Amino acid sequence: MSNIALLLVDFQNDYFSTHQGAKWPLSATEAAADKAAELLGKFREKGLPVVHIRHEFTTDEAPFFLPQSTGAKIHSSVAAIDSEPVVLKHQINSFRETELADILKQSNVDQLIIVGAMSHMCIDAVTRAATDLGFQCHVAHDACATLDLEFNGVTVPALHVHSAFMAALSFGYCNVDSTSNLMSLV
């Protein structure tokens, strides 16, 4: 039997439009966090490993997740409890210059369910890195969020950004499925 863990990436206050003073609100972060909370509840109920990732920039010049700010704190809807590690990162890839790989190895984890933000950045990066490190990955697409992007004068709606990255990940990196379907793995 596979040892599975839940990885919650960057569900932080600055991404929530309902958080007063949010510096970088995403599209439908609250809905994604609600789905992540369902998985979190199931993992806790089963006593399975849960790891939270929290991004904090190293300078006050950053556009969001400022050092030691309220915006950089994990949102209360999916906050860690004492037994759950919180990995602090300063890079897009959650494995880069962090103890994430060691934490997963210590728990004999070989399979991950990944949720969080942003779909096109940190979710993409951690999923690709985890797969390259040999983890079997699953992304709960409805428990991830992103925002509208602009490139070369073209605005790409968040739904299209999210869908394009989920399609790319599902093509060769991982299983991308709904929260309700991924519950069967827990």
Give tens-digit pLDDT for 105-155: 999 999 999 999 999 999 999 999 999 999 999 999 999 999 999 999 999
> Does the pLDDT at position 1 exceed 60?
no
Q: Map out the domains of the chain as residue ranges.
A: 4-185
**How high is the pLDDT of residue 2?**
63
Question: Which CATH superfamily, name and number, covers 4-185?
Answer: Isochorismatase-like (3.40.50.850)
Counted residue by residue, the chain has a size of 186
Question: Quick one: which of 91, 87, 137 has its CA closest to 111?
Answer: 137
The mean pLDDT of the chain is: 97
pLDDT band at 169 (very low <50, low <70, confident <90, very high): very high
Q: What is the pTM of this model?
A: 0.97
